[in-house]
Amino acid sequence: MADQAETLREIVRNKIAVSEAAEPAAREAGNTEGKTRIITITSGKGGVGKTNISTNLAIAYAQLGKKVILMDADLGLANVNVILGIIPKYNLYHLIRKQKNMGEIIMDTNYGIRIVAGASGFARIANLTEDERKNFIAELSELSNADIIIIDTSAGVSNNVLSFVEAADEALIITTPEPTAITDAYGIIKIIATEMNKQDLGLKLVVNRVKSVVEGRKVAERMITIAGQFLNLKVDYLGYVYEDPAVQNAVLRQKPFMIVDPRSRASICLRHLVSRLEKVEFREGGGIGSFIRKLLGSKPRPGMDI
């Protein structure tokens, strides 16, 4: 068993070395920063629009000329492909079962982004064994040619979610003004503060489905103040997304609202979010190699599903 574990670690180290060696070539190919920027998007509860924001944020980045990969990391209840109206032939289930590699499951779309589809209805892969988890992490090096990787996690707190949050360059927490959503968003922030020994995790709050700018700001200020006072954790307010009938209309049509109605209030908000992400003080990330190392080094937390 020790020999097998060391062999796996050596394979991952080699993959990291290859991905880091490829980063200068990525710069020449159009990745101007030379390193992939990883943004994890999560929420305290389901139903707050996390996947819709992840998908449309990816498209907004692509419209700036970025090479974007959107990964649906909800291992069990994936729906990025539903929002895009796509039926993937292969997904993370095939990768985790070692039936396919990352290069074989990644898909081009008609929206200027590439996606790694999650697996819906396979509860087993929502609880990965350690070997399956390490194999999954090792395969991530195949994504190093992207400028931006957006990871749409499952709602709530699991080892998978915490690992992605800890390893990413920025983590966006999505909430709505509803009291239950605010409570659950604070809950995930509290667990992040408890489980991780870093005070600057690049946490950014997005308030979805607001009726006014004031409503979004009040929700954000309340949460940021509490996180700072009681958790000693820095959280920034990235922005808000308006409650907009264009969003529901797009969902029913199984198309991104950035495409269906690019002039809608929600679409304009997404462009503002990208603008702020690009203009905020950028925490220099280590690229996909650093992301893989952090994921590989993260340990399962006791009492939490992996």
Q: What is the pTM of this model?
A: 0.83
Question: At 273, which amino acid appears?
Answer: L
| β-sheet bridge partners, residue 151 | 40, 71
Task: State the residue for tokens 């905020």.
Answer: 280
Q: Read off the pLDDT of residues 129-179 as tens digits, 9 standing for 90 and up.
A: 777 777 888 888 889 899 999 999 988 777 778 888 888 899 999 999 999
Give the position of tokens 């957006």: 150
| Cβ count near 82 (within 10 Å) | 15
Strands 68-72 and 148-152: parallel
Domains of the chain plus CATH, in order, are 1-20+46-167+279-300 (3.40.50.300)
- The predicted-structure confidence for 71-86, as pLDDT tens digits, reads as follows 998 877 789 999 999 9
Residue type, 270: L
CA distances to 11, 60, 277 from 272, in Å: 41, 10, 9
- pLDDT over threshold 90, residue 7: no
Q: Inter-axis angle of helices 265-279 and 245-253, to 10 degrees? A: 100
Residue reference for tokens 């309340």: 222
Give the model's pLDDT for residue 52.
96
